[in-house]
A = this chain, B = another copy of it.
Amino acid sequence: MKKISDYASEAELALRQLAISEKEPASLYSPIVYALTSGGKRLRPGLVMMVAESYGGASALEACQKAAAGIEMFHNFTLLHDDVMDKSEKRRGHDSVWYKWNANTAILSGDTMLTLATKLVTEVPDDKLRRVIDTFNDMALEVYEGQQLDLDFETSETINSDTYIEMIRKKTGALLGAAAGIGAILGNASDKEIGLMTTFGEMLGIAFQIQDDWLDTYGDSATFGKPIGGDILNDKKTFLLVKALEADKGTVDALKVTMKELKGEAKIKAVTRIYDKLNLSEETKKSVAFYTKLALKALKATSLSEEAKEPFRLLVEKLTGRKK
């Protein structure tokens, strides 16, 4: 059985074959090569491929190679611009593009990546072109809207866990949804199956993001790949913080004072203690389970055989750390 990791390797290959390093001017294209060769799990293009082959076999897998690469290119474009906006100096353990070069380079090479992504996504059979490009463009708008909501939330007092979920649905869910949806389109799936696969990807994206929030506080730094507590130190509005801000006034006031006055490890410990009191680890895990279940429900409703569903179940497990 082919697994997501097999498709991710295939996606890596498709990306290498784009030959961007040969394009001029090098000052525009070498940051793109740098960004595309600085790691990344290639889950999104892998998902395009896995869905396409599950529905349409080898010819669909062949037909989706460029579009899959385009999905990963788009993802990396958003990282270049997000890192400028968030002033993040590191990305996947390397210097981010704006930090290594400068903001102008990250902006303009990022713009170039968006157009390269759009070009790649148009490299599909004529009878699929309109549907694929529409799915891609509509997804892109959702991702920007999600990023804008995320930026707005940092200075807003009016978030609640519902608006937070809507934000991550757009910022993270939409791209995984479009990846699965485009895979299904290119696999000649029916409208119903395309819809179910889009839901699968979208709900998986939400579950994954909430899980990522949980890991930042309750994870193991070795497997998480980042130091624990980074979000707490940066006052990042995570699912846990948003939930905590919905607690009683006494707790919220104490939390705000703690966030404002403490620094470093002391801050991480104190905030975590408040999360513990509110039982937020359990509540967050429940929320991950909820969206995981919605993803699995959509998967179950598809016409794929049990055997064909299995790699998708394994993907869910991999991204959310939980079995069905």
User: Which positions in A face B, CB cutoff 8 Å?
Assistant: 24-25, 27-28, 81, 84-85, 103-104, 107-108, 110-112, 114-116, 118-119, 122, 126, 129-130, 133-134, 137-138, 140-141, 144-145, 147-149, 151-152
Contacts and interface: CB of A to CB of B under 8 A. Distances in A.
Given A114-B114, A114-B115, A122-B137, 5 more contacts: A81-B108, A108-B151, A116-B141, A122-B134, A129-B129
12 contacts: A81-B107, A84-B103, A85-B104, A103-B103, A104-B151, A107-B107, A112-B141, A114-B115, A115-B140, A118-B133, A119-B134, A133-B133
Contacts of A152: 25, 27
B148 A25 contact: yes
Given A116-B141, A129-B129, A130-B126, A111 B28 contact: no
A230 B116 CA distance: 35
B85 A107 contact: yes
With most chain B CB atoms within 10 A of its CB, the pick from A24, A107, A126 is A107
B144 A111 contact: yes
> Is the contact region of chain A dominated by helix, strand, or loop, or is it mixed?
helix
Contact of A122 (B103, B126, B130, B149): B130
Given A85-B107, A104-B85, A108-B85, A149 B118 contact: no
Specify how many copies of this chain sit in the oligomer.
Answer: 2
Contacts of A130: 122, 126, 129
Contacts of A114: 111, 114-115
A323 B111 CA distance: 38
Contacts of A84: 103-104, 107
A247 to B, nearest CB: 26
Contact of A118 (B137, B145, B148): B137
A112 B81 CA distance: 12
Contacts of A126: 130
A151 B107 CA distance: 12
Please name the 7 residue pairs, one residue from A and one from B, whose CB atoms are nearest each other, closest first.
A28-B148, A115-B140, A85-B104, A119-B137, A112-B144, A25-B148, A27-B152
Given A126-B130, A130-B122, A144-B28, A137 B108 contact: no
A63 to B, nearest CB: 15
Nearest to A134: B122
Nearest to A84: B107
A256 B24 CA distance: 29
Given A137-B118, A137-B119, A145 B107 contact: no
A166 to B, nearest CB: 10
A182 to B, nearest CB: 15
A28 B151 CA distance: 10
Nearest to A106: B107
A151 B111 CA distance: 15
Nearest to A86: B104
A116 to B, nearest CB: 7
Contacts of A138: 119
Given A130-B129, A137-B118, A151-B104, A145 B25 contact: yes
